[in-house]
Every structure is written in structure tokens, then in C-alpha cells.
Structure 1
Amino acid sequence: MPDPALDSIGPRLKSWRQKRSLTLDELSAATDISASTLSRLESGKRAPNLQLLVPIMRALRLELDDIVPRVVPDPRIDRVTKRVGEISYVELSPASSALQTYKVTLPATPSGVSVAPDPKVHDGYEWLYVLDGRLRLVLGQHDVVLGVGEAAEFDTRTPHWLAASGTGPVELLTIFSKQGTRIHLRARPAS
């Protein structure tokens, strides 16, 4: 089965040779590869191999990435939803990522029921953003309610507890780092 990456090597070599303002004869003299072989390689009539490519890349001052395009993997994340009791976690990052990102849905607290916080601790650092509903966050001595568009970040070694506040469920975006590193956002591009 033909490989499109290999098929593009010849035209890329020709383009780089022309950018360097070299003729086939000049590149031939620099590489000890005949001009006819170079021409066939550029037109795709000769298969590329390392014996040909290494001297050409040296003469043209190229890296392998300059002539063999990188394969860009499909950027979509497989949608995996986990349920722990009534709490829903939709994974928004691959399991191998240093930062784990989830869309979390916490169920509504039944009307008239008072739920006592049960704070937990674990290693890591968490950032969360309320997408919909109202979130009750108990963190150390703080007991706060966050609304849509509000965010919080905290060291998960501080006792913490989360629940929906009000009559409906709460949806939030959460980013968790097991390494305990803080989330750093740039206010403007680095110069």
C-alpha cells in the first residue's frame, strides 16, 4: 500500500533545492549522486532511501522533519463517562495526560434534606469552573457557593467537599493535577 508521506518526499526535496537556488547539477556535485537519479527522485520515479536522502539532506541543510511530514494524530478524545453513585464524570483528556480534565455533574440535593459535609484529602491540585447550576464548596474553614462562571483552585491536601446547592444539579469543568502543580495561564503570548 503506497504511503502518502513517502510520495511527498520527492516534491519536497525539489522545493527545498529550488529554495536554496541549486540546480540538479550543483546538488549532484555536492552529493556525488547523479543528476538523473536526483531528477527521478524528485519526480517520484525513484523510491527514496537513506543512502540517497542523507547526503541530500546534508547538502541542503535539512532535518528529516523538513522532508517527511509529521503524522498528526486525530485530536479528538474518546468520550468516556464514568459514574460514581449519582455523580457523572466525562473524561475530556486522555488518561496519559499530566492534567486530567473532566466535566462533572453533581446531582441536586433533595428538597428539605440537609447534607452534612464530609471533607476528604488527597495529593494533587484542582481547578474548577461552574458551567451550570450552583456549587457548594467546603474548603478548610471556607464554606462558599459558586455560581455559573465562577472558578476556584485549591491544593487537594486541604480538606474539601463539593455538592450541588439549590434546587438543581451542578455541572462543572475540573482540571486535576496529581503532581500538585498549580495551573498556569498566560495573560498574553510570550514574546
Structure 2
Amino acid sequence: MTANEAVDARVRRRLRELRAERGLTLAQVAERAHIDISTLSRLEAGKRRLALDHLPALAAALGVSADELVGAAPAPDPRVRAKPVKMGRMTAWPLTNRGAAGGLQAWKLLVPAGSEDPPDELPVHEGHDWIYVLSGRLRLILGEKDLVIEPGEAVEFSTWTPHWFGAVDGPVELIGIFGPQGQRLHLHD
């Protein structure tokens, strides 16, 4: 809803949203509100002007107050509830919902012990990666550099540079922010 959204447009949108949330058909809502189905259809589509006397009956038919019908939809639950993803030996917990931050997504990753050997050819892809080590020691090969990233340290790099990361001397917990290309490479191989 925009700040300038007209009340009638907001009510039409809320009618459709509430009807869909409750799995009700136009016929069911029209019957409950004691109005003709074609009237309800035209109200939702904006082809008929909404009258104030429609509000109480429509609200009751949808099981909400007239204020809830006229008001904005409640804000969605901000909690991220996606399940961890297991890929190979690594486990990743999403920390952002899909589509947030322009395609970037934050993950908590557990890189288990025994993940010390890079592939023969280091991957390269479009994008930019950001990694923060929470615990353990992370081995990062970035082009010709072979680095050990300690807890509390962060790295950020262009993924056009050949790169790989793994564990040193035990498991590593990290937070990573990856674009769509990095997610496909790092989290789904």
C-alpha cells in the first residue's frame, strides 16, 4: 500500500487479499454479505463505486472489522523461518528471505573439519562475496593468495577472481553474503 493509495482502492485490494487468504469464492462472500455476486465482482475490479453501506456486510462476510477492511494489511512476520540446507558436507542456514536486498542473501555456514582440499580448478563467477568468520579458521584461496581468516575477521572480494574456501584444523562457522551466482556455486554444489 502506498501512502497515497485511495481508500476505495485499498478496500478493493483488501477484499481480494482477505478473500484469497480465507480461500473463499466470490459467490461465498457475496452470499454471506447478502449482495449480488456481480456487484461484488465489480466492486473488487473497481468497476463499481464502493458505498459506505457495503463495508459492514463485507467485513462481516470476511470475519474482520470494518476498520480492518479499510486499513492496511498487517505487516508480514519479519522472522526468517527457512530450514537449513545441506550440500555435500557443508550446512547453510538462510538469514534473509528470498528476494531481499536486491538478490543478495545472507547465510550462516558450517564448514566441517576435513574440508581442506580445494578443487584443481578454482571457480570464477559474476558477483561479489562477503564472508565473516564467527569461529574456527577459514582457508581462503583467492587467486594466487592462500589466506587463513581468523574469527572476527571479514573478507570481501570480486568473484571474478578464482576462489575457494574450506576449514583449517576443525570446523568453521561463518556468515556469508552472496549474490545469486555465488549462492548457486557455493551453496548448491
The counterpart of 1:153, out of the listed 156, 181, 184, is 156
Alignment of 1:169 with 2:171, yes or no, is yes
Alignment of 1:4-19 (within 5 A): none
1 CA distance for matches of 2:119 and 2:153? 21
Of the two, which has the highest radius of gyration? 1
**CA-to-aligned-CA distance 1:55-103 (integer Å, 9 cap, x gap):** xxxxxxxxxxxx8345211001113211111111111111222211111
> Displacement, 1:109?
2.2
Alignment of 1:85 with 2:96, yes or no, is no
1 CA distance for matches of 2:106 and 2:144? 26
Alignment of 1:100 with 2:105, yes or no, is yes
The counterpart of 1:132, out of the listed 128, 132, 135, is 135
1 CA distance for matches of 2:162 and 2:135? 24
The equivalent residue for 1:109 is 114
* Bigger fraction of residues in helix: 2
The equivalent residue for 2:180 is 178
What do you get for the CA RMSD once the two structures are aligned? 2.6
* Alignment size in residue pairs: 115
> Displacement, 1:177?
2.1
2 CA distance for matches of 1:124 and 1:159? 12
TM-score normalised by structure 2 residue count: 0.54
TM-score normalised by structure 1 residue count: 0.53
Relative to structure 1, the CA distance from residue 179 to residue 71 in structure 2 (aligned partners, 3 Å threshold; closer, same or farther) is farther
Is the 2:118–2:165 Cα contact (8 Å) retained in structure 1? Answer: no
2 CA distance for matches of 1:125 and 1:178? 10
Is the 1:123–1:178 Cα contact (8 Å) retained in structure 2? Answer: no
Is the 1:117–1:138 Cα contact (8 Å) retained in structure 2? Answer: no
1 CA distance for matches of 2:108 and 2:87? 13
Runs of 4+ in 1 over 4 A off after TM superposition: 49-52
2 CA distance for matches of 1:116 and 1:105? 17
> Displacement, 1:124?
1.5
2 CA distance for matches of 1:69 and 1:116? 52
List runs of 5+ in structure 2 lacking aligned partners. Answer: 1-48, 53-69, 183-189
The equivalent residue for 2:18 is none
